[in-house]
Amino acid sequence: MFDLKISDQPLNPQDCLDFVNHESTGASTVFIGRVRNQSKGKKVLRLEFEAYEKMALKEMEKIAEKAKEKWPIAKLAFHHRTGITLLGDIAVIIALSTPHRKEGFRACEYCIDALKETVPIWKKEIFENGEEWVSATP
């Protein structure tokens, strides 16, 4: 039903698509978050992701369960990267299959929004002269 993963290795969208492909569902919706080259106007050299892995997987499962309560999700893949990532690397993939498209968009957006609220994963931006834990301070 759910494929939840936290990994310090590159994430693979095709793995997620293969997992969610399901014969009774016509719509697959996918969100992929990548490392951007700037943040608040400053050039980002790399990002470092740290996770409280055990708890992060639990929280990801809670999000998936809640999404499944709200929408008719057949399968859901939720992968998050940890470690050092460079420009263009994939930080997160959320893929899910639903009978119809509208519920797929809603469910996928719900999951990524919820991830950013509750899943214990932290992102440090490394700039040319300094570094910063994202969202830590006002």
Among 10, 36, 62, 70, binds a copy of itself (CB under 8 A): 36
User: Which of 94, 67, 83 minimizes the C-alpha distance to 3?
Assistant: 94
Quote the Cα angle for 106-29-89, to 5°.
110
Distance of closest approach, residue 70 Cβ to another protein, in angstroms: 20
Contacts to a copy of itself from residues 48-77, by CB under 8 A: none
Nearer to a copy of itself, 53 or 132 (CB): 132
How many residues of this chain bind a copy of itself (CB under 8 A)? 30
User: Which of 3, 26, 23 minimizes the C-alpha distance to 13?
Assistant: 3
Residue 24 touching a copy of itself (CB under 8 A): yes
Pairing of strands 2-7, 75-81: parallel
Q: Write the CA distances from 32 to 17, 42, 70, 118, 137, integer angstroms.
A: 12, 22, 22, 18, 26
Q: Quickly tell me which residue has 């998050």 as its tokens.
A: 80
Nearer to a copy of itself, 88 or 130 (CB): 88
Nearer to another protein, 106 or 124 (CB): 124
Distance of closest approach, residue 39 Cβ to another protein, in angstroms: 11
Residues engaged in binding a copy of itself (CB under 8 A) = 13-14, 17, 21, 23-38, 87-88, 99, 101-102, 104-105, 108-109, 112
